[in-house]
Structures are given as structure tokens and as C-alpha cells.
Structure 1
Amino acid sequence: MQPLAYRMRPQNLDEVVGQKDLVGPGKIIRRMVNAKLLSSMILYGPPGTGKTSIASAIAGSTKYAFRKLNAATDSKKALEQVVAESKMSGTVILMLDEIHRLTKPKQDYLLPHLESGQIILIGATTENPYIAINPAIRSRTQIFEVKPLSEDDIKTALLRALKDEKRGLGSFDVSLDDDALTHLSQATHGDLRSALNALELAVKSTPAEKDTGKIHITLSIAEECVQHKSLVHDKNGDAHYDVVSAFQKSIRGSDTDAALHYLGRMCDADDLPSITRRLLVIAYEDIGLANPQAAARTVQAVEAAEKVGFPEARIPLSVAVIDLCLSPKSNSALKAIDKAMEDIHKGNYGEVPDWLRDPHYEGAKKLGRGIGYKYPHDYTHDWVKQQYLPNKIKNQHYYLPKENGRYERALAEQYYKLEKAKGRSLKDQ
């Protein structure tokens, strides 16, 4: 027998749960269906959020033939069969799962049929289509983002499945506790497929009570049937980059609780390489010279996490995150090197001064290489006034101290002292 999630798949747009910004009254997909002006589209979002449901609902609402293929596993011959069907019986809606994995030969075969209108393509993907999908396909489709379902959306779908006698579990006499319903709708993190399958397992694996004949689903039964549903975190997907981005921005913004939340999501996905790489970047990019000791401690925490692995790795990682969140922040080192490289990329640089050039080869002195160089260690305090930058940019400043922490304040004091001794004016650049 087919799973409950498959049986409860919407047969028209009115049965679609959630996604009201796409299929609600007056919204784009409903307008397309009502006007009978369907065009090819790509639906992207996490698993279990309704991409296939929307496609089957569109087919049900329009009465077009509906076929479902997988871009990764189905052959070009399968595509040819769908095209042949469209030529014989009219327009076919083709639901193409994992469309980001469509090969070029399959794409080249499909494109003319999309343009003729024989095939209405509804591609589904968990990947960001603006990154993962070939521009040739992307330019011939409209792109719609499918959002995770809310807790109320999932509750609505679960209760509907319990009442539906034809496709759902309505033939069973089920008593579902409120806290069990809440758990099923919360623990699956917006994935309706997982919630429906967990409900079906709970109902069919729980014996009916002898005195009432009811199947009583309690919180503990719901917890056993859901087990653990990890948050969506494909290491190569859109969700991964969103979480990593939020992680760094939370530390940069000194929000300890938010940073720990995003750390927890990456720990839950066992994504140690992403966590450690990002922590090292953050330590030097966002904290930098305001607290270099925190950067050193982060390196130690990363080494410890890599040695012990999960689950214990979460402990040194948490220490590092809290340390970085509560440290003073400075991106002065990042801005300094970027400004220097910007000059280089623009061609705003000159020749290395002759007295700094390498004198260790025959004929160097004849060319004036190294002549006049002053060796700082021969002078008081191991410093002597001398020009190091090329003449073209001799008055350029790249490092502009922020003075956000004690260490960088000390660096700033020394920097300003040296620049004054050189006779170089410091001004905002």
C-alpha cells in the first residue's frame, strides 16, 4: 500500500496546505490555472514542503496528464516517452524532481518541447536555482520559492488525514492527544511528508484499546514514531550557506544566543568542517586585532574539536563561539589588506625603491640595487626613518586602527607614533 503522504497528495489547488502566497486566491499559480495560461516553473525549497503536491494539484485542477520523473535517475528515453504522449494526447505536465541534476543531453532534448508548449515543466529542487540550475532552463521557467510549512499548516493536514476515509486514516477510530499532535507538527520542522508518515506509523503500530476499540496516540507514541528529524542542512545546498551566513553575522553582531543556535544546527548536521573553517575566518576577520588572544584560543578550540569529534566537539566549539561573540570587534586588518590589494588591482603602485631591492647577485651594485639601505638594527631602538613604499604611493595609508580593544589601542599608539616620526600625515582615506 502506498504511504499516507502519497495518498493524501492534493488533487486540486484547494487541497494544498500552506503556500498561500503561491496558490491562495488571487495569487500567481492560481491565476495561471484559472486563466489556463500555465507556463513552466521551478519550485525550490526544503523536502516535504509541497513541491510535488503543488505540481499534482495543478495537474488535477487543469485535467492535464501528469507525469513524474527524476532528472538524476530517469533516462532520456523516459523523457522521449513523455514527449510522445504529449504529441498523441495533448499537453502533459512533467514534474521533474532534482532538476538541478539534469544533464546537458536531456536538457537539449527537452528545451524545444518546452518552447512549443507541448510539455509544461514543473521542476523541483532543494538547491538554489539561481546557483545550481543551468541558465538555459532557468530562462525558460518562472521560479517560485516554497517555504517550510507552519505548525498550524501541518496540524491541518494531519487532522484532515485522520478524517479522510478514502485516502487517509478515517477508517481507523483514532484518539490523538493534543500534545501528540503538537509534537508531530513541531518535531518535523515543516516537513509534512515526515509528519504524515509518522502519524501513519503511530496509528498502524498502536493496538486498539480493548474497552473502547480506539487507537489512542499519546505524546510518547508520537515521540517514538517521529524519532529525530534533523533540520535541513545539505552541505552543498542553499540552506547550508544560509546557516553559515547567519552564524558569522550573529557572532559579528555579538548575539551569543543566536550564534549558539546556528552552531547547534551545524552540529546537528555533523558539519564539523564548515564550523571550524568559519570560526577561524571569523576570529581573524571580525575580531582580529581587537582581541588576537581570542583568535589563538579559537585555533586551540578547533584543534580540540577535530581531535575529539562529535558529539564532544560541540563543547570546545561552544567555548569559542561565546568567546568570539563577547570579544571586542575589529575588521581593520581585513580592510587594510583589501585596500592594499585594491590599489594593486587598479595598477596604483610603483617600482620598489632601489635601496630596498635585492643586492645579492653579480652586477646589482652597478644597477644601484641596495645602495643606501639603512639597517634598522644599527640604530637606536632598532628604527630609522626610511621610505619603504614606492614613490608613486609613498604617502598612502592602508591600516586605520579601530582601537576597539586594549591590544589594538596599543598598536594604534605605536602606529601613530611611527607615522609622525616618518613625517607622514595620517588622514581618513
Structure 2
Amino acid sequence: MKPLAFKMRPQNIDEVVGQQHLVGPGKIIRRMVDAKLLSSMILYGPPGTGKTSIASAIAGSTKYAFRKLNAATDSKKQLEQVVEEAKFSGTVILLLDEIHRLTKPKQDYLLPHLENGEIVLIGATTENPYISINPAIRSRTQIFEVFPLTQDDIKQAVNRALKDKQNGLGSLNIKLDDDALEQLSLATFGDLRSALNALELACKSTQPDDHNEIIITLNIINDCLQKKSLVHDKNGDAHYDTISAFQKSIRGSDVDAALHYLARLIEAQDLPTISRRLITIAYEDIGLANMPAVTRTVLAVQAAERIGFPEARIPLADSVIELCLSPKSNSGILAIDSALNDIKSGNYGSIPNHLKDAHYKGAKNLGHGTTYKYPHDFPHDWVKQDYLPQSMKDKQYYYPKENGAFETSLGQQYRRLKEAQNK
């Protein structure tokens, strides 16, 4: 009853599909295995990309005992049993799933056994270990990222499973149509476990034809594929990577890339994140270069939130296209961040007396507000007057850009006022 994905796990390093940057000839894990100089490691990446397979292959190639535990669900006692086994029989390779959920008591127990080499720990996680894993564990392990498998990798593994008579489906007379194989390699987004699960379900639930042949068509594969989102856990790495790529694509004026990442977020039905991020992008990256586009973005987000999916995709797409093709300016965020840096570093002086509140009795005795000049009483509603603290009177935070007509005109006015103030 073991699933196909389990039975097809590699028995040695040569059988690992994908992740050739780690297990290919001359690469670091291959070198560790060849030299039998294993060190503890953490493998992190999306589900179904080969973390458990690599651990199993390392154990098979080195002939060390291989044990698998889950940091979240298995107890400290089970951990102790693995350590006792290592003390009596030699080194044990321990695959610890969900290592980011390892509790401190389990961690404290495990650390000495990692240091003396009794346990070679292979931690597996979908979370970024630099964020989610305790530094004490990180400092004793090497960290390797694994990536979604390519379509060719998936096809290779599927064909291997179809031919393997001992562990795979080779004992069945199966004909997998080319377009079904293509869909299997494409629609699982690099997750080999999902591909093999769908293949097994398709083959074992399809009746043979008159020639005793099980023909797997595109429609059958589609029926057996579990819908999988490119954006995984909304608190996970893939989610934040997608948001980052979304903003950077708009900032870089790449319409097609921005629409691609918008589609990922739409597929995840994450309208709140899209709304927040899109308004942030509008003000941060387009800003004063095209304020009408910023305003239209806010309106597009309001429309999307009011109508909901699937129709919300239309105003969102319109806004993304406009922001991509709009002139860009980040002068606003640079200006306020520069001012904030001064405040946080203590670089500020006293507010000039003529700007201080003068509405209360006694303010005049203090000299507060007595020499203030009301700009609307002067021609063009402007009068030369100091506003910054005296110690910062020449400070400049805003540096206009000329990437759009609106900010170009703002910049011209800014420079005129500066010149008049300095006369």
C-alpha cells in the first residue's frame, strides 16, 4: 500500500532526479558521499523537490543506517532511541522533517550528538532556515537550497516509474500519451511527489482496453491532478518571494513579468495582499512622476475589493499595466527616509521661535510666534522666512527627478523657491 512516490525513492546518489547543483558530478553533496565525509545539513525548498530523496540516497550510498523523524510530531523519546542506536551500531543518518519546528529541549539533547558525529542530521523544511531555525542548529549545519524540478526532470522520473517492474508500474501495460506526460510535467510545478501520485492514481483507476493496455490520456491526467497553487502557505517563503518579484517587475517596467506574478497572487485568491502591495508600489515607485496613475491605482484597488474575484482581476491588471509603463520616481520615499534618519540619529535642533504655538496667554512674553510672517499677506502668497531649525537651515531632503511632467514642474518650482529663500 506504499505510494509510488515512496517506492521510487532513490537507493543511491546516482538515482537522484534533479538538484544537480548539489548531487551532480563534482558537487558538494556528491563529494561528501564519495569521500564518506558527511556533515549535518539542512535542505530547504518547496514540497516534492527531493529533500527526503537526497537523504535516502546519501544513506544508501554510504551504507549508514537511515532513520526518519518529524520535529513537530515525534517525541524526544523517539529521538533518544535513534541516538542509542547510533551509540551501539555506529553513525546514523537522521532525516528530521519540519526541522524549523524543533523544540528547544529536543535541540539541546541533539546538539552534542551532532558535534561528536554519532548523528548526521539532515533537516528538511519548506521554511527559510535563516529566518525560522534556531542559530544553534544553523551554526552546526550546512544549508542547501533545493529548487522545483524542471519539466525534463519530472519526465525522466515518470518514465523511470513506468519502466521499473520492481518498485514502479513496469508490470502494468501502460501507454502514457505524449500530451498527458507534458501536462504531468507542467501542471505539478516541479513537485515530483504530486506528479507520481497523479500518475499512480491514473494508472490504477483506469480500466485496460480490449488489448489489455491501460491508455492514459490528457483528460485522465487532468482528472487525477490535484490543483496546486504556485503560491504556497501565505506565511511561507514562496509567498513573499512572489510579492517581491511582483514589485520589482513593476519597478523594472516589465509588463509581462508583473502580470505573471499578479496571476500567481490572484490564483492564491489573496486580494488583501495584492491591494496593499499595489498601493505601496504606486506611491513608492511611481510617486510624483505620475500622481494621476497613483490615484487611479487606489480607485482600481477599491473597485477590485468591491467586486471581488474573478472580476477583480480586470481593474488589477489595468492598474499593473499602467504602473509598469508609467514614468518612475522614488524621490518621495528617499526624502522622508532621509529625514527620518536625521531624527533617529538625534540630528535635529530647536523649532524657531516664530514657528512655535502662540495661541495661549503668555506666548508673547516668551517670544513665541511674534515675528511670524503670514505668507498669504504677501504677493504670490510667499515670503522669505526660515522654517528649519537654525542648526539645519541648509538641509535638503527632497531631490526632484525629471521622469514625468508633474515632478519636473514640481522640481522647477522647488528650485525657484530655494533660490528666492537664499537671496
Aligning the two structures, in what range does the TM-score lie when normalised by the shorter sequence? over 0.9
The DSSP-based 3-state class of the residue aligned with 1:312 is coil
Amino acid across the alignment from 1:268: E
Per the TM alignment, residue 123 of structure 1 is displaced from its structure 2 partner at its CA by: 0.2
Q: Which residues in structure 2 correspond to 1:190-201 (within 5 Å)? A: 190-201=190-201
- Residue 305 of structure 1 is matched in structure 2 by 304
Q: Which residues in structure 2 correspond to 1:135-154 (within 5 Å)? A: 135-154=135-154
Amino acid across the alignment from 1:4: L
Contact 1:233 1:266 in 2 (8 A): no
- Residue 253 of structure 1 is matched in structure 2 by 252
1:90 pairs with 2:67: no
Per the TM alignment, residue 232 of structure 1 is displaced from its structure 2 partner at its CA by: 4.2
1:355 pairs with 2:354: yes
Per the TM alignment, residue 59 of structure 1 is displaced from its structure 2 partner at its CA by: 1.0
The DSSP-based 3-state class of the residue aligned with 2:368 is coil
Per the TM alignment, residue 72 of structure 1 is displaced from its structure 2 partner at its CA by: 1.4
- Residue 427 of structure 1 is matched in structure 2 by none
Q: Distance in 2 between matches of 1:334 and 1:232?
A: 29
Per the TM alignment, residue 238 of structure 1 is displaced from its structure 2 partner at its CA by: 1.8
- Residue 188 of structure 1 is matched in structure 2 by 188
- Residue 51 of structure 2 is matched in structure 1 by 51
Amino acid across the alignment from 1:40: S
Amino acid across the alignment from 2:395: Q
Q: For structure 1, which segment, 396-405 or 139-148, has the greater mean C-alpha deviation from structure 2 after superposition?
A: 396-405
Per the TM alignment, residue 347 of structure 1 is displaced from its structure 2 partner at its CA by: 3.0
Q: Which residues in structure 2 correspond to 1:7-406 (within 5 Å)? A: 7-210=7-210, 212-406=211-405
Deviations 1:111-147 (A, max 9, x none): 1111121111100011111111111000000111111
Q: Distance in 2 between matches of 1:85 and 1:358?
A: 77
Q: Distance in 1 between matches of 2:120 and 2:272?
A: 41
Contact 2:199 2:221 in 1 (8 A): yes
Q: Distance in 1 between matches of 2:338 and 2:220?
A: 60
Q: Which residues in structure 2 correspond to 1:401-416 (within 5 Å)? A: 401-416=400-415
The DSSP-based 3-state class of the residue aligned with 1:365 is helix
After the TM superposition, list the runs of 4 or more consecutive aligned residues in structure 1 that deviate by more than 4 angstroms: none
Q: For structure 1, which segment, 278-287 or 371-380, has the greater mean C-alpha deviation from structure 2 after superposition?
A: 371-380
Amino acid across the alignment from 1:243: T
Q: For structure 1, which segment, 235-244 or 179-188, has the greater mean C-alpha deviation from structure 2 after superposition?
A: 235-244
Deviations 1:172-195 (A, max 9, x none): 000111111111111111110001
Q: Distance in 2 between matches of 1:63 and 1:389?
A: 73
Per the TM alignment, residue 23 of structure 1 is displaced from its structure 2 partner at its CA by: 1.1
TM-score, reference length from structure 1: 0.95
Structure 1 unaligned blocks of 5 or more: 425-429
Q: Distance in 1 between matches of 2:100 and 2:303?
A: 37
The DSSP-based 3-state class of the residue aligned with 2:365 is coil
TM-score, reference length from structure 2: 0.97
Q: Distance in 2 between matches of 1:118 and 1:227?
A: 40
The DSSP-based 3-state class of the residue aligned with 1:143 is strand
RMSD between aligned residues: 1.4
**What percentage of aligned pairs have identical amino acids?**
73
Q: Distance in 1 between matches of 2:28 and 2:418?
A: 62
Per the TM alignment, residue 96 of structure 1 is displaced from its structure 2 partner at its CA by: 0.6
Per the TM alignment, residue 348 of structure 1 is displaced from its structure 2 partner at its CA by: 2.8
Q: Distance in 1 between matches of 2:10 and 2:198?
A: 19
The DSSP-based 3-state class of the residue aligned with 1:334 is helix
Label 1:349 to 1:391 Cα distance change in 2 as closer, same or farther (>3 A).
same
Q: Distance in 2 between matches of 1:128 and 1:273?
A: 23
Amino acid across the alignment from 1:172: L
How many residue pairs end up in the alignment? 423
Label 1:34 to 1:304 Cα distance change in 2 as closer, same or farther (>3 A).
same
Contact 1:46 1:232 in 2 (8 A): no
Q: Distance in 2 between matches of 1:280 and 1:313?
A: 15
Q: Distance in 2 between matches of 1:261 and 1:177?
A: 29
Q: Distance in 2 between matches of 1:162 and 1:152?
A: 15
Contact 2:231 2:242 in 1 (8 A): no
Contact 1:71 1:97 in 2 (8 A): yes
Q: For structure 1, which segment, 186-195 or 341-350, has the greater mean C-alpha deviation from structure 2 after superposition?
A: 341-350
Contact 1:33 1:61 in 2 (8 A): yes
Deviations 1:309-343 (A, max 9, x none): 32222222112111211111111111111222222
Per the TM alignment, residue 9 of structure 1 is displaced from its structure 2 partner at its CA by: 0.7
Amino acid across the alignment from 1:305: A
Contact 2:358 2:369 in 1 (8 A): yes
Deviations 1:272-307 (A, max 9, x none): 222111111110010001111111111112122222
Contact 2:96 2:123 in 1 (8 A): yes
